[in-house]
Amino acid sequence: MAKATAKPKKEISMEEALWKSADKLRGSVEPAEYKHVVLSLFFLKFASDKFEAQRQRIIKEGREKFIDNIAFYTKDNVFYLPEESRWSYIMQNAKQDDIALKIDTALYTIEKTNPALRGALPDNYYSRLHIDTAKLASLLDEINKINTDDKENDIIGRVYEYFLGKFALAEGKGKGEFYTPKSIVNLIAEMIEPYDGILYDPCCGSGGMFVQSIQFVEAHQGNKRKVSIYGQEYTNTTYKLAKMNLAIRGISANLGEMAANTFTNDQHKDLKADFIMANPPFNQKEWRADNELTDDPRWNGYEVPPTSNANYGWILNIVSKLSQNGVAGFLLANGALSDGGTELKIRKQLIENNLVEAIIILPRSMFYTTDISVTLWVLNKNKKARTVEQNGNIKKYRNRENEILFMDLRQMGSPFEKKYTELTDDDRKAITDVYHNWQQEGHEETYKNVPEFCFSASKEEVAEKGYTLVPSRYIEFINRDENIDFDTKMKALQSELKDLLIAEEQSKKDLLSVFKELGYEIKL
């Protein structure tokens, strides 16, 4: 019995273990490096736990002679790990002086043995860090306590998200590096429903959009093999992280030949995607030189986006990648809704070209690295009436070319980790029901404008307001000040102010008393 109760004591929450892991690294590496140091070790343990579970499954099935046959692992999306790549081997040697080299060798060997991981794992990374052997051994002990049996799928993203949250000030703010929270990714997936076809993310980060999208498909009895994934990422370490994140889930993806700038080195020039999900860097400055990309085919028929802000560069890149029936859901800072100058000209044309389907303001404090409210844009290349079979269901879409749906979600969401907000399952269902009801035939029965929540505006109404896409310019808001009882309100304020003045007077007396006791009486 003692042995049975020992395991739960050993297994601590992932967040607790990660915090203790970070503690072990203090003074050895910069905070911005923590996630990279921990993630590869975490990956080794995760991959090894899956390997050992598969190994036991093979033995249980009476196929011991195949326990070192790679095919018996890869058929179930499990990586085969040679002896020197297994977590048990790493832990047996954790206190050896050459443990950093052994970790690098383990990562090199597992990548060499599994083609899906080619280019995903760090090369000779731990040897170059020169972390004290005792600290590295202690770090391995903490990671060893993590239970990797996580059913949420994006476990690598969860670790990445944790470090962004803990060290946002050190690395995230001002750089536009945002991990997209799961509730937002789920909302986008539930709205655009990427059941089959090509799914693209031009700034895929750690690959969380892809992982959660595939989870969405599987949760709705779809077939993930019908989804082809294409992505691109600028930062090399994050590019490797994305490859690792997808490979460990058995998700095939084309992330391009290398980490590269989507604007200056497009890895998917001829791609036409059925679905696009993205969270581009907000308000990216100096994203191109004045004389650079001026005749890029992605701006075809539109003004060239200004060098001062990449928001409309991202929008036009997304538009250029949509197939004839393609749908995109992506996030932008709220300023993009009403920017003037060149952005206004582009926005006007997007509206006149019937591409803008929905504009949705999200609640504040949903991101770890910024507390601002941001906008979810939904673009649709085909807003005409049509009938579509989708994941076994027949949907009859009405013509929406003359309409744009505006939604304001700032009164929705629930507290998350004290200072953050997330959209609950019920929130997302309410939002997606409104959106899908508005899209389809018979919407007169199922959709209606709701004050402070949603409004369906005609193109003419949008034109009259100067082509602004700020939802509050269309959604009706109730003036609650008209219903305030002035006398009651003033009496409440009077009572509050009295309490504050009494407290202030008491604090003043206490302070004067302390100084008097110290022999430094203050006479007023």
Give yes or no for a contact between 184 and 209, defined as CB atoms under 8 angstroms apart.
no
Q: Is residue 179 predicted with pLDDT exceeding 80?
A: no
Do the domains 2-149 and 169-473 sit in the same CATH topology, yes or no?
no
Q: Is residue 294 predicted with pLDDT exceeding 90?
A: yes
Q: Is residue 168 predicted with pLDDT exceeding 60?
A: no
Tell how strand 273-278 and strand 197-201 pair up: parallel
CATH code that applies to domain 169-473? 3.40.50.150
Tokens 């018979």 locate to 442
Structure tokens at 328: 């995109």
Encode pLDDT of 47-75 as tens digits. 999 999 999 999 999 999 999 999 999 88
Encode pLDDT of 355-371 as tens digits. 999 999 999 888 866 77
Report the share of the chain in percent with pLDDT over 70.
87
**Which long-range contacts (C-beta less than 8 Å, at least 24 apart) are formed by 167-174?**
167/31, 167/32, 167/34, 167/35, 168/368, 168/369, 170/30, 170/31, 170/32, 171/31, 171/32, 172/368, 172/369, 173/369, 173/370
What torsion, rounded to 10 degrees, do the Cα atoms 463, 466, 468, 473 define?
-90
Nearest to 81 by CA among 110, 105, 54: 110
Give yes or no for a contact between 203 and 278, defined as CB atoms under 8 angstroms apart.
yes
Encode pLDDT of 399-408 as tens digits. 999 999 999 9
What torsion, rounded to 10 degrees, do the Cα atoms 167, 170, 175, 179 define?
-10
Fold classified for 2-149 = Ferritin (1.20.1260)
Q: Is residue 177 predicted with pLDDT exceeding 80?
A: no
Q: Domains of the chain: which residue ranges? A: 2-149, 169-473, 486-517
CA dist., res. 329 & res. 411, Å (int): 21
Give yes or no for a contact between 121 and 240, defined as CB atoms under 8 angstroms apart.
yes
